Amino acid sequence: MAEMDVIESDGVISVVRLDDLSSAIGLVEALVEGGLRAIEFTFTNRDAATSIQETSRELDDRALIGAGSVLDPETARTAILAGARFVVTPTLNLRTIELCRRYGVPIVVGAFTPTEILTAWEAGASLVKVFPASVGGPSYLKDVLGPLPQVKLVPTGGVTLENAGDFIRAGAAAVALGSNLVDARTVASRNWATLTRRAESLLAAVTKARTPTPI
């Protein structure tokens, strides 16, 4: 599967930011069951590389496993060697973009201001993550895309099941959700049916937002 094709087709990146990753395989299976394939394990957890390696080995044919909260090229390399198929950063780091391009791995680069967004795009970002999206909301995304229509934006930080469609309608190439999709309590109780239902609802909202409104 082509990495960017999966992310842009589904329109969603599932962000797994948890203190306990012992149920990594189960939660990925639940999300995939609901139709979401791009799943990011953040390096805010020291076990992220292990989870990437394990889930990639078990579900590589069904899921696209990536690494998030990557702050530097050294961490990006660790993630890629563990099997990460894409890398996500919270901020703009040109050396990390260069490293990912060297390995041929797509990178979703965090930025916020128009200058940062364009700098990331021109440096080779596959997608630009608008973070935190809660600050400006969908209207900010629409305003940025006015003069920069060529940039593919992925809002995160404040995106919910309820407003994901608004961001897509504003022009987002995809949305990224963390605890509003994958929360610690649901995972701790292994309530996989709930995760699957959330995934289905989110995918339906994105699909609906992409469907042209009849005149």
Amino acid, res. 70: V
Of 8, 29, 33, 40, catalytic: 40
**Greatest C-alpha distance within the chain:** 51
State the Cα–Cα distance between residues 26 and 30, nearest whole angstrom: 6
Half-sphere exposure of 95 (CA within 13 A, CB side): 7
State the Cα–Cα distance between residues 29 and 23, nearest whole angstrom: 10
Nearest to 154 by CA among 45, 10, 1, 2: 10
Of 29, 54, 129, 152, catalytic: 129
Catalytic residue at 98? Answer: no
State the Cα–Cα distance between residues 60 and 30, nearest whole angstrom: 15
Catalytic residue at 129? Answer: yes
Do the beta carbons of residue 10 and residue 203 sit within 8 Å?
yes
Nearest to 150 by CA among 176, 175, 117: 117
Which residues are part of the catalytic machinery?
40, 129
